[in-house]
Amino acid sequence: MEKVVLAYSGGLDTSIIIPWLKENYGYEVIAMAADLGQGEELEPLREKAMKTGASKIYIEDLREEFLTEFIYPTIKAGAKYEGKYLLGTSFARPLIAKRLVEIAAQEGAVAIAHGATGKGNDQVRFELAVKALNPDLKIIAPWREWKIRSREEAIEYATERNIPVPVTKAKPYSMDRNLWHLSHEGADLEDPWNEAQDDLYMLGVSPEQAPDKPAYLELDFEQGIPVALDGKKMKPIELLTKLNELGGANGIGIISMVENRLVGMKSRGVYETPGGTILYTAHQALEELTLDRMTLHYKEQVALKYAEMVYDGVWYSPLREALDAFVQVTQRNVTGTVRIKLYKGNCTAAGAKAPYSLYNLEFVTFGEDAVYNQKDAEGFINLFGLPLKVRALMEKSSGLKK
C-alpha cells in the first residue's frame, strides 16, 4: 500500500481528509502535526488521528525553529503584508511543508496532502515549498477534488463518520493558531461591516477591557534579535510567550483587515498578534537610531517585497535568500534597548538607546553648539535646488509658466 503524509491539525478539514484519502486513494495515511505553539490543541491529536484512520502520527515540536529561522528573519526585514498583517500563518506553512517532505522521505511516501482550500493562500504556500524541496512528490489537495463545497457540508461529512470536530454550524470560524498569532475568518466576519465581538479574542482582551493604567517594559536586542526582557536574558520561546501575555492583557496586536489574497480575491480576517506587535514596534524604534537614511529608506522597499514573498509562499527561493543577506548586513548595529508603553491597544516606543546610535545630540540640539555651521546649509540648498531654479528660469523666458 502506498503512503501519503498529511499535514494534520485536528481541525475540521484535516479530520475528514484522513478517511477521504483512504476511501478515494487507498493510501496508508501518515499524519504530521506541527507543534508551533498551539498549546492545548495538540493534546488530543494522537488519539484522534488514529481513531479516524491514520496508521501513524508524528507530532513535531518546531517552535524553536519557527522562531529563529522564520519569524526572526521576517522581523529583521520589517516585513508586514499590506502594512498590517504580521504574516503569522504565512511563514508557518513553509516550515510545515519542509517537515512533511522530510517525513515523506523517511517513510517512503509517494505523496503529501493538505487541507487548504482552493480559495486560499495556504494551498500555494504548501505546494510551492514541496515543489522547491522535492518535486517528485505527488500533491493531493482534497478541497480541489471532492464534492464538499462548504464548511457546513464538511461538518455533515464528519458527523456521518462519527468524527468529532472543534466547530459547530452556529460558530464555524476558521482559526489558525501558533506561538506568533491567532487568526479568525468566516461566519459573521465575512461581512466587513461587522465588528468583531469581544468574546472572539483568545490571546488577550479587547482594548476597551484593558487596564486603565499603562504598562511599561524594556526589550534588549543584539543585531536585530530580541534577547532580554526587563534586563532578564530569555530564550526565544520564553520571551515571546511572556510578551504575548503582557500584550494580550493590554489589548495589543488586534487588527481587522480586508487583504488581497494571492489567488485574486479579497478576504476579511481578524488577527491577534500581541507579542509580535511589541517586537515589531521595538525593532523599528531601534533601527531609527542605528540605520543611516539611505539604508533605512532602501530597507523599507525591501520590506515590502519581503512581505509579499512570504505571503505568496516563495520562502524557498533565491531572491528571499538574497534579501536575507542584505537584511543581515543592515542588522550589524541594531543593538540596544527599547522602552515600550502598552495602553489600551496602543503599543508605542517610549524611549530607546543604542551603543551604535547615529543620533548625535551635539548636531541636532536647538541650543548652542560648536559642531554645526548653519551657514553651510545655504550652499547645500542652492545646489540641491538648482534643477528647480533652472526649470523655473526656462519656463519664465519661454512663456510656458502657467
10-residue mean pLDDT profile of the chain (402 residues): values are: 95 91 96 91 87 94 98 98 98 98 98 94 98 98 92 88 69 83 94 94 96 98 98 98 98 98 96 98 98 98 98 98 98 98 98 96 79 91 96 90 66
For the question of residue 369 being annotated catalytic, the response is no
- Write down the pLDDT at residue 172: 60
Q: 151-207 pLDDT, tens per residue?
A: 789 889 999 988 877 655 555 678 899 999 999 998 899 999 999 999 899 999 999
3 state SS of 117:
coil
CATH 3.40.50.620 in the chain, residue ranges: 3-172
What angle is formed at CA 369 by the lines to CA 365 and CA 375, rounded to 5 degrees? 100
Q: Of the residues 93, 99, 151, 177, which is catalytic?
A: 93
And the C-alpha cell for 176? 489558525
Rg of the chain over Cα atoms, rounded to whole angstroms, equals 25
CATH H superfamily, domain 181-291+333-353: Argininosuccinate synthetase, chain A, domain 2 (3.90.1260.10)
* 324 tagged catalytic: no
In contact, 249 and 204? CB cutoff 8 Å: yes
Could you list the residues known to form a binding site for ATP, using ranges.
Answer: 7-15, 34, 115
The reported pLDDT for the residue numbered 151 is 76
Residues contributing to the annotated binding site for L-citrulline: 85, 90, 121, 125, 174, 183, 259, 271
Q: Is 305 exposed, middle or buried (0-12, 13-18, 19+ CB in 10 A)?
A: middle
H-helix or E-strand containing 56? strand 56-61
* Residues 90/71, Cβ–Cβ less than 8 Å: no
Locate 168 and state its grid cell.
459547530
The yes-or-no answer on residue 93 being catalytic is yes
Strand partners, 232: 229
CB 286 within 8 A of CB 339: no
Sheet holding 254-260, edge to edge: 174-177, 182-185, 266-272, 254-260
Amino acid at 157: Y
State how far the Cα of 45 lies from the Cα of 59, in Å rounded to an integer: 8
Distance of CA 1 to the CA centre of its chain: 38
Model pTM above 0.85: yes
Q: Which of 63, 99, 122, 151 is catalytic?
A: 122
Start-end of CATH 3.90.1260.10 domains in the chain: 181-291+333-353
CATH number, domain 3-172: 3.40.50.620
What are the binding residues for L-aspartate?
A: 117, 121-122
Q: Which residues pair with 176 in a beta bridge?
A: 183
Q: Which residue is catalytic, options 63, 99, 151, 174?
A: 174
Nearest to 270 by CA among 77, 88, 124: 88
Q: How far is CA 213 from CA 7, 281, 369, in A?
A: 43, 20, 39
Residue 166 and residue 13 in contact, taking contact as beta carbons nearer than 8 Å: no
Cell readout for 230 is 526587563
Q: Tell me if residue 217 falls in helix, strand or coil.
A: strand
Helix orientation angle between 12-25 and 151-160, rounded to the nearest 10 degrees: 60
Taking the CB of residue 171, how many other CB atoms lie within 10 A of it? Answer: 11
Q: Binding site, residues?
A: 7-15, 34, 85, 90, 115, 117, 121-122, 125, 174, 183, 259, 271
Output the nine-digit C-alpha cell for 240: 515571546
For the four alpha carbons of 294, 295, 296 and 302, in that order, the dihedral sign comes to: positive
**Predicted pLDDT at 351:** 98
Q: Which H or E run contains 306?
A: helix 293-312
Phi/psi for 296 (5° steps) reads -60, -45
The cell for 108 is 517512503
DSSP-assigned beta bridge partners for residue 259:
267
Place of cell 529583521: 76
CA–CA distance, 199 with 206 (Å, rounded to integer): 9
Question: In 101-193, which ranges are E strands?
Answer: 111-113, 138-140, 174-177, 182-185
Task: Please indicate whether residue 268 is annotated as part of the active site.
Answer: no
Return all residues near 122 (Cβ < 8 A) that are at least 6 apart: 89, 93, 114, 116
DSSP letter (8 states) at residue 252: T
